[in-house]
């Protein structure tokens, strides 16, 4: 039988066809999602060898479609499947992925020709769609004739094969590794589907990260086989956790075997663990529906701490490296400030800092800087040390016991940090009042900011000044602005940031808009100072820019800030920290 079929168009089509995909592999995944929705127990993807003109083939053994279904469901554009058939698939009760009724077009993003061969109820229906035809008729899709053929098929066979030929050269060539990673991330936990790419089944190796494998024999639980990955970088894994497999079947949901209650392991790190443990010795310990482990299972209680220890070792190994990297960037300034502390405070400061940094592991550098600068401030306060000294004395001063005492008193230093953060908010309120008062002079804001350099924010939160720099500026300005000019003396401040670079800050009145003339003047000061210090960055603070001083014309290494914007972004950081500390209190309580 040979006849034509047509697309039936839904009014939402036009906007939906604009859909784009992040990569060739993401586009191909749409077709695998369709096979999943068709209850396919197996899905085989074949990718062409590089540099060949071969096709991409996605073949599933799912329900397939009858001719009628192909015409009324597949060839209907933008038809919402779930409103038609519900959230779950018919046979296997899978959660349906299809939403918009346009996923099939993903094939035509990467290829010019898409052939669909689908078998159900003893018949194979075949239709070929060409991108060119579609593009030439976006307004009248339903008028395109699609050649459709139906031939008999053996009984009991069903499934769909999509062949994509003449791949578009606008897209990257599909890579099996990339596709496997993508599919493993999404389908790795699914037990009722077998997916292969170029005849290779998906496996743990397809996930990013470092692999760990442990075989062990545990009294009461027998032989176990643990294999998992700790993903690297900032990536957390979808469906993280370690699944328990007993007698070939997964029991319940993946979990962390108690590691989630370990205060030393930040939750962000748990999300980097992915894997499973085979423990056939637990077959007596599984509930009848295989949904969970029976309570009081001796075998499980024997197994749990062993798995937990393996996981913790691996996570700490990876974590030490990564936190080390993160911290190396701000360590220089931390060391400088630690060096200023009396000896006996320093070692406590190091331990507490370590703990806090661990807790904020994985946050952006900007946030970690805020945290480090807040805690360093807190260390310089005497009440903090009074409490620590008491703990220390009660423990006889040994560093290990002190560290464990700190664990118990974990909430204490969080509370002290919160106090510190709150006092920063007060400073911001005060500064806000100053800035809004038209009578405020340069020196008023200068004196507040000089004592609270963190207000200057990211990149400057750990800057510091010292007597030498202050004296240099004092001498420079009084020599330059004598007699009549004394009243014109600028308010300058020279500081050094954590990378060793110098900053010249010029404070203008909060009511003063910064214009070109101000910028020129600041550059003049810099020209005078640079021979002594090397490169200097300028920060000009005032009410913001004058209309004529547009950003694209800024001189090099000169930034203009408004006091208001500085205050507002400093406030955002502190608010974030306070809310973090609050959520910490409630989870540890």
Rounded to whole angstroms, the Cα distance separating 367 from 357 reads 11
Rounded to whole angstroms, the Cα distance separating 453 from 450 reads 6
Q: Which does 60 bind (CB under 5 to 8 A by kind): ligand ATP, Mg ion, none?
A: ligand ATP
Q: Which of residues 150-189 bind ligand ATP (CB under 6 A)?
A: 160
Q: Which does 344 bind (CB under 5 to 8 A by kind): ligand ATP, Mg ion, none?
A: none
> Which of 141/498 has CB closer to ligand ATP?
141
Rounded to whole angstroms, the Cα distance separating 35 from 42 reads 9
User: Integer distance in angstroms from the first to the last C-alpha of the chain?
Assistant: 72
Residue from 207, 204, 216 nearest 313 by CA: 216
The span of 101-109, 269-277, 476-484, 545-553 binding Mg ion (CB under 5 A) equals 101-109
Rounded to whole angstroms, the Cα distance separating 408 from 392 reads 13
> Any contact of residue 461 with Mg ion (CB under 5 A)?
no
Q: Which of residues 341-360 bind ligand ATP (CB under 6 A)?
A: none
> Which of 73/262 has CB closer to Mg ion?
73
Strand-by-strand arrangement of the 502-507 sheet: 491-496, 502-507, 536-542, 558-562
Q: Which of 9, 89, 103, 141 binds ligand ATP (CB under 6 A)?
A: 103
In the complex, minimum distance from the CB of residue 104 to ligand ATP, in angstroms, rounded to a whole number? 4
The backbone torsions φ and ψ at residue 96, rounded to the nearest 5 degrees and listed phi first, read: -70, 135
Question: C-alpha 539: how far from its chain's center?
Answer: 32
Q: How many CB atoms lie within 10 A of CB 497?
A: 19
Q: Which does 38 bind (CB under 5 to 8 A by kind): ligand ATP, Mg ion, none?
A: ligand ATP
> Any contact of residue 188 with Mg ion (CB under 5 A)?
no
> Any contact of residue 34 with Mg ion (CB under 5 A)?
yes
Residue 292, SS3?
coil
> Which of 131/526 has CB closer to Mg ion?
131
Structural contact between residues 60 and 40, judged by C-beta atoms closer than 8 angstroms? yes
Rounded to whole angstroms, the Cα distance separating 548 from 538 reads 19
Q: Which does 542 bind (CB under 5 to 8 A by kind): Mg ion, ligand ATP, none?
A: none
> Any contact of residue 107 with ligand ATP (CB under 6 A)?
no
Residue reference for tokens 């170029």: 198
**Which DSSP letter does residue 148 get?**
E
The 114-153 site mask, x for binding ligand ATP (CB under 6 A), equals: ----------------------------------------
Rounded to whole angstroms, the Cα distance separating 495 from 480 reads 20
CA distances from 519 to 236, 435, 502, 537 (A): 45, 21, 18, 12
**Which DSSP letter does residue 22 get?**
S
Q: Which of residues 282-321 bind ligand ATP (CB under 6 A)?
A: none
**Which DSSP letter does residue 437 get?**
-
Residue from 77, 70, 69 nearest 10 by CA: 77
In the complex, minimum distance from the CB of residue 168 to ligand ATP, in angstroms, rounded to a whole number? 19
> Any contact of residue 107 with Mg ion (CB under 5 A)?
no
> Any contact of residue 64 with Mg ion (CB under 5 A)?
no
The span of 34-42, 276-284, 354-362, 426-434 binding ligand ATP (CB under 6 A) equals 34-42
> Any contact of residue 510 with ligand ATP (CB under 6 A)?
no
**Which DSSP letter does residue 197 get?**
E
In the complex, minimum distance from the CB of residue 167 to Mg ion, in angstroms, rounded to a whole number? 20
511-514-515-520 Cα dihedral, nearest 10 degrees:
130
The 12-31 site mask, x for binding ligand ATP (CB under 6 A), equals: ------------------x-
The span of 92-100, 240-248, 381-389, 433-441 binding Mg ion (CB under 5 A) equals 92-100
Q: Which of 98, 241, 281, 362 binds Mg ion (CB under 5 A)?
A: 98
Rounded to whole angstroms, the Cα distance separating 569 from 424 reads 13
Q: Which of 63, 89, 420, 519 binds ligand ATP (CB under 6 A)?
A: 63
Q: Which does 35 bind (CB under 5 to 8 A by kind): Mg ion, ligand ATP, none?
A: ligand ATP
Q: Which of 10, 73, 450, 546 binds ligand ATP (CB under 6 A)?
A: 73
> Any contact of residue 103 with Mg ion (CB under 5 A)?
yes
The residues binding ligand ATP (CB under 6 A) are: 30, 34-35, 37-38, 60, 62-65, 73-74, 81, 98-104, 160
The residues binding Mg ion (CB under 5 A) are: 34, 98, 103
């Amino acid at each position: 039988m040979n006849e034509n079929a047509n697309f039936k168009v839904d009014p939402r089509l036009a906007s939906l066809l604009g859909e784009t995909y992040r990569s060739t592999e993401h586009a191909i995944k749409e077709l695998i999602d369709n096979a999943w929705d068709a209850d396919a127990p197996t899905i085989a993807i074949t990718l062409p060898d590089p540099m060949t003109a071969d096709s991409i083939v996605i073949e599933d053994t799912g329900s397939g479609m009858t001719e009628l279904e192909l015409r009324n469901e597949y060839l209907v554009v933008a038809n919402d499947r779930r409103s038609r058939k519900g959230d779950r698939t018919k046979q296997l009760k899978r959660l349906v992925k299809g939403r918009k009724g346009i996923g099939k077009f993903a094939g035509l993003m990467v290829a010019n020709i898409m052939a669909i061969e689908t078998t159900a109820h003893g018949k194979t229906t075949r239709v070929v769609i060409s991108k060119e035809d579609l593009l030439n008729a976006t307004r009248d899709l339903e008028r395109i004739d699609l050649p459709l053929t139906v031939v008999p098929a053996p009984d009991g066979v069903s499934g769909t094969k999509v062949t994509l030929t003449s791949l578009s050269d606008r897209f990257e060539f599909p890579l099996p590794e990339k596709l496997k990673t993508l599919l493993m991330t999404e389908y790795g936990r699914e037990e009722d589907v077998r997916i292969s790419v170029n005849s290779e089944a998906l496996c743990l190796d397809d996930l990013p990260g470092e692999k760990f494998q442990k075989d062990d024999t545990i009294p009461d639980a027998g032989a176990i086989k643990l294999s998992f990955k700790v993903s690297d970088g900032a990536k957390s894994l979808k469906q993280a956790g370690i699944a328990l497999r007993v007698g070939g079947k997964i029991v319940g949901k993946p979990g962390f075997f108690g590691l989630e209650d370990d205060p030393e392991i930040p939750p962000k790190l748990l999300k980097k663990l992915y894997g499973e443990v085979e423990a056939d010795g637990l077959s007596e310990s599984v509930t009848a529906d295989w949904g969970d482990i029976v309570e009081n299972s001796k075998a499980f209680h024997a197994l749990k701490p062993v798995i937990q220890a393996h996981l913790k070792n691996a996570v700490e190994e990876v974590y030490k490296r990564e936190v080390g990297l993160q911290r190396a960037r701000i360590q220089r300034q931390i060391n400088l400030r630690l060096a200023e502390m009396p000896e006996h405070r320093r070692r406590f400061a190091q331990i507490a800092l370590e703990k806090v940094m661990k807790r904020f592991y994985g946050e952006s550098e900007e946030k970690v800087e805020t945290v480090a600068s807040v805690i360093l401030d807190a260390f310089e306060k005497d009440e903090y040390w009074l409490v620590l000294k008491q703990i220390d004395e009660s423990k006889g001063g040994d560093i290990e016991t002190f560290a464990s005492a700190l664990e118990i008193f974990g909430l204490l230093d969080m509370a002290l940090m919160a106090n510190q953060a709150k006092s920063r908010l007060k400073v911001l309120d005060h500064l806000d009042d100053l800035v809004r008062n038209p009578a405020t002079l340069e020196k008023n804001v200068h004196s507040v900011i000089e004592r609270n350099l963190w207000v200057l924010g990211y990149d400057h939160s750990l800057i510091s000044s010292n007597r030498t720099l202050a004296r240099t500026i004092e001498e420079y300005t009084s020599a330059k602005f004598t007699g009549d000019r004394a009243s014109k003396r600028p308010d300058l401040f020279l500081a050094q940031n954590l990378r060793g670079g110098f900053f010249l800050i010029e404070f203008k009145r909060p009511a003063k808009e910064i214009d070109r003339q101000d910028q020129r003047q600041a550059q003049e000061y810099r020209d005078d100072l640079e021979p002594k210090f090397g490169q200097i960055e300028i920060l000009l603070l005032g009410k913001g820019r004058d209309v004529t001083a547009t950003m694209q014309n800024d001189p090099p290494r000169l930034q203009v800030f408004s006091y208001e914007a500085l205050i507002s972004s400093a406030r955002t950081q502190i608010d974030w920290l306070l809310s973090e500390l609050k959520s910490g209190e409630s989870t540890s309580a």
